[in-house]
Amino acid sequence: MFWSVFIVLLFFTNSDLGIDLTFVSGQCLQGQKDLLLELRNNLTYDSSLSTKLVQWNESIDCCGWPGVKCDTMGRVSSLDLSGESITDGINDAGSSLFRLVFLENLSLAQNSFGSIDLPFGFGELTELRYLNLSNYGFSGYDWCNAISSSLPNLRVLSLSNAYLTGPIDSSLVNLRSLSVIRLDGNTFSSPIPEFFADFPNLRVLTISSCNLSGVAPAKLFQVKSLETLDLSENGDLEGSLPEFPLNSSLQNLLLRITKFSGNVSESIGSLRMLSNIDLSDCSFSGPIPSSIKNLTQLVYLDFSINQFVGSVPSFAFLKNLSVINLRSNRLTGRIPDSLWEGLENLSFLDLSGNTLEGEVPASLFLLPSIKVLHLNNNSFSGVIRDSLNSSPSPLEVLELKDNNVEGPIPRILFELQNLSSLSLTANKFNGSVQLTDFRKLTNLVNLDLSYNHLCVHVSETAPVSSLFPRLGTLMLASCNLQKFPLLGNLSSLVMLDLSDNQLHGEIPNWTWEVGDGFLRFLNLSHNQFSHLQEPYEFRNHHYLDLHSNMLGGEIPVPPQTAVFVDMSSNNFSSPLPANIGYSLTSSFFFSLADNKIVGTIPPSLCNATRLQILDLSNNRLHDRIPSCLFENSLGVLNLRRNNLSGDIPDTFPVGCGLATLDLSWSVLQGQVPNSLVRCTEMEVLNLGNNDLNGNFPCWFKNLTRLRVLVLRKNKFHGNISCLGDGITWPNLQIIDIASNEFNGVLPENLCRDLKALTVDQDGLDHLKFLFLTANHIYYQDSVTLTLKGLDVELGKILNIFTSVDFSNNHFQGR
């Protein structure tokens, strides 16, 4: 389950804007009505979507028309045509709109004028105090001059998402009365002008998502009247936080997703009015200032995804605080009970992705308003001590995964009746637990107990649905399960992981009906299943993992919805179904490696055009490789250790994306096809242990990404002098051309040019395995080398591992 925290920062009332929007209407003047009717007649709008213009009735006083307000003299002083689906009719200064010269408040927001330039006619409305053209469709770069020439009374300017471009012109500073400026969602592509700090009454400035760049002016943060400053989501905007003044009015400070950096000063504690602060996804560093405890009005704090270090500061007795998000920093130390005392309204706490240690205080689960608690990906250890509480906890989400917490699951967790998501995976919890121990958690949607030292027992009679009728995710990997849980009637189940257990026998045929056909993720790998109970029918699975069992018999045909299918390391011994490719048209990954499959590779696999990884290695397949197989968008093709014969098809297409091609240990004949040169993404090429012949393919030098090249035990002949012309394999770690019929003199500069064969000590600090990443699917390459006469398979290829083998040829020289 994924959780997002949404916060509405500003609900503007009339008093917030500093404008009196209370109108005592007089009888509408005929001239004013005529202007309104002329305006409506000239507007292009969708009457089926209109709620105001369509109700303007000539027989009624225009001061009572929807969206219209008048002053005591019957003059139109407020006009609200927002959301009227207007598309045309205010294109020039001659519009009757600009003759409503007594207007003080005008909103044309949420219409669409097709990105026309902002008309200069707005300058005629000299009495305007409030102007809202947000989400309107005006555009252009001269918008500042269009509104700033003669609007001396304007206090609120809202031009959010108006397709405006920059830079922001200095003429805007002529609007000296402005207190609210909203320019979010435009494309200014320029620095923030310093003159924003010169507006004497500025209270609100929001210019988020405007593609701003450069360094934000420091004095902007020191404007004493400023209550809201939003510069967020400007990914190229740099800056740092200065010393804050003692008498600041700042209530909302939003800088998320910018390049702000440096330390946060202790002076932040002087912002006594601060309610919301969001510094997430920036580059701040240093400790979180302890003066945070002085911010008694604080409601929302998000410092996530930065580089803060040191300990978590105390938030005790900040009674208004509702959200604390410190995830993905470099925080260390413990989080004792004392940090969280008196947090009566805290509903969301995220400390995940740090290096926090020590015990997890059970008092966190019992905070009176807590609903979401993320403590995952830390170094918490020890046991969670039970704590008594007379009132039920409101906690709904508890994430403790990827820590070192040990001992039995504390009983307090069995009492959290409002929990909808509980993840304890990848800890050191031990002991035996019955699923029925969680019976009070009837609202559970997500339960993950995987990868602990638990022995989870399931009832042989009571279905899981009787305990958790809303369950959508059940993850019990490596839980020492010995019985398949009764999952019938779990109509909402989407993800099921029972891998790495001690389940055996048949996979019940009702498994495929779980979730009413909506089970998307199913992992039963690393068990001892022997067969699938007949009859069975796959439903709408996207991820199907049955690898490392003892399944035999006919190969199941995957559902057409499958994206990932892994049935490797089983005992399947039948031929591949002739039409299996038609069931893989949505698949990115398909593996039947390490079985006993016989027969030929069916050409229908060529219809699986989205496949990026196809692994049929270590089987008993024979005959030719279908020529169409190379024409697809494969990134990995592994057919190692079969009995394939014939030539390698010369059908590698232009733009070939193969990164790994392993055809080793078969009886392939002929020469290496020239079209293979088109596979410029190739990193692992293994054609060893076949009957291939011909000269060394000098065009291999064009495969500049190669890391592994194996041609051993074939019938290649001739010299390799072309490699002396300069090697273009900067990353090559393994080259094995042993046991062929190569001859001639080895180029003197060969080893010198293979730079990746020389490992410096710095490389030891960055050990990685070679993977191919495709749609969040990881494929681990392997290779078989001959070391001292023994064939050794490297299941993982370290970046620092190197090997050169030119033995058993007819080379001359030293």
pLDDT of residue 317: 93
Q: Which tokens go with 192?
A: 């923030």
Integer-rounded Cα radius of gyration of the chain: 35
pLDDT of residue 797: 61
Q: Is the pLDDT of residue 476 over 90?
A: yes
Contact criterion met (CB below 8 Å) for 783 and 734: yes
Q: Is 551 part of a structural domain of the chain? A: no
| Reported confidence tier of residue 16, pLDDT bands at 50, 70, 90 | very low
Q: Is 616 part of a structural domain of the chain? A: no
pLDDT of residue 25: 56
Q: Is 288 part of a structural domain of the chain? A: no
Percentage, residues of the chain above pLDDT 90: 77
Domain harbouring 125, CATH code? 3.80.10.10
Q: Is 698 part of a structural domain of the chain? A: no
The per-residue pLDDT of the chain, averaged, comes to 90
**What span, in angstroms and rounded, lies between the C-alpha atoms of 635 and 661?**
8
Residues 633-652 have a mean pLDDT of 96
| Reported confidence tier of residue 7, pLDDT bands at 50, 70, 90 | very low
Q: Is 735 part of a structural domain of the chain? A: no
Comparing CA positions, the residue from 324, 327, 285 lying closest to residue 307 is: 285
**Domain residues for 156?**
25-165
Contact criterion met (CB below 8 Å) for 295 and 317: no
Tally of domains in the chain: 1
**What span, in angstroms and rounded, lies between the C-alpha atoms of 621 and 623?**
7
Reported as a single tens digit per residue, the pLDDT across 312-348 is 999 999 999 999 999 999 999 999 999 999 999 999 9
pLDDT of residue 85: 92
Residues 692-713 have a mean pLDDT of 94
Q: Is 485 part of a structural domain of the chain? A: no
Q: Is the pLDDT of residue 388 over 80?
A: no
Residues 409-433 have a mean pLDDT of 96
Q: Using H for helix, E for strand and C for coil, what is the string for 342-354?
A: CCCCCCEEECCCC
Lowest model confidence (mean pLDDT) among 420-429, 597-606, 754-763: 754-763
Q: Is 263 part of a structural domain of the chain? A: no
Q: Residue-wise over 264-302: b if at least 16 C-beta within 10 A, else e?
A: bbebbbbbeebbbbbbbbbebeeebbebbbbbeebbbbb
Reported as a single tens digit per residue, the pLDDT across 495-540 is 999 999 999 999 999 999 998 888 999 999 999 999 999 999 898 9
Lowest model confidence (mean pLDDT) among 95-109, 161-175, 219-233: 161-175
pLDDT of residue 436: 94
Comparing CA positions, the residue from 172, 184, 251 lying closest to residue 212 is: 184
Give the rounded distance of the alpha carbon of 490 from its chain centre. Answer: 28
Reported as a single tens digit per residue, the pLDDT across 22-54 is 444 568 999 999 999 999 999 999 999 999 999
The model's pTM is 0.88
Reported as a single tens digit per residue, the pLDDT across 744-803 is 988 877 767 676 666 554 444 333 444 445 445 667 777 776 665 666 766 656 566 788
Residues 662-681 have a mean pLDDT of 97
Q: Is 74 part of a structural domain of the chain? A: yes
pLDDT of residue 144: 84
